[in-house]
Amino acid sequence: MDQPAVGDVIGEMMRDAYAVRTGIGPRPLAGGRVPRPVIEIIERDDGLINGAPADHYLGEPAEWQPHDHRALRLCRGHVLDLGCGAGRTALELQRRGQAVTGLDTSPGAIEIARRRGLRDTVVTTIDEYARATARYDTFLLLGNNLGLFGGAERAPVLLAALASLANPGARIIAQGTDPYGTTDPVHVSYHERNRSRGRLGGQLRLRYRLLATEWFDYLQCSPAELETLLKGTGWQLKSIDDADRPYYLAVMELTP
């Protein structure tokens, strides 16, 4: 059986989801005639595979989860929206008159974000972008993008990149998911397996139609584990809002 090619999974998916929602661009069809739903597929390194409708990536504020609204109220100054995708949250900040830059590694996602009106965008990795001269007051990681912290090896590298882009008093606002509320043996045994390998997260890749991403570490951790990851990075956990458990909002600040 053929292996899927590595490509711009997020971009292709966003383009299709955008076409379904707006009627702009070719809509995905089954048999050339009937609408096909746009489903994001997430594969985990133990063989678990899950699908979820992709439309929420284009959700208007009225469709958001409550914690997304609370997160935006915490933004101040110049905002860098990391993994901004099709611009869901960055567009709303822009509408509110806030200075906001959308960063994503997916050219296709940024193309959709720009088509939807997002003005300030960057297609690159945060590691590359850390060499830029721009400075930010808020780093925003919504839509589970606390996962981009990766794990014990990746987190300090990412946090150093953010520190080098930070104005004094800058904060990170990140939405994560606490994975430990489940008793599902599929998940409990996976957590055990990861811990026995000295890992917090687990590897996953995204697939869409013919494309896959590379496998990458994506962190699901508890607030307590997050606090441990921050040690020695210069970033300090200021608050946890877990009103929408298992989802939570973490605010981190750069200590002077």
**Where does this chain bind a copy of itself (CB under 8 A)?**
1-5, 29-34, 36-37, 39-41, 45-53, 177-184, 186-187, 203, 207-210, 215, 245-247
User: Which is nearer to a copy of itself, 121 or 222 (by Cβ)?
Assistant: 222
Give the count of alpha carbons within 13 A of 167, CB side only. 11
Residue labelled with tokens 């995905």:
28
To a copy of itself, the closest distance from the beta carbon of 213 in angstroms equals 13
CA distance 133 to 50: 40
Q: What is the chain's Cα-based Rg?
A: 18
Q: Which residues 6+ apart lie within 8 Å of 174 measured at CB?
A: 139, 140, 141, 142, 145, 146, 149, 249, 250, 252
User: Which is nearer to a copy of itself, 95 or 193 (by Cβ)?
Assistant: 193
User: Which is nearer to a copy of itself, 68 or 81 (by Cβ)?
Assistant: 68
Residue labelled with tokens 């292709």:
12
User: Which is nearer to a copy of itself, 81 or 178 (by Cβ)?
Assistant: 178
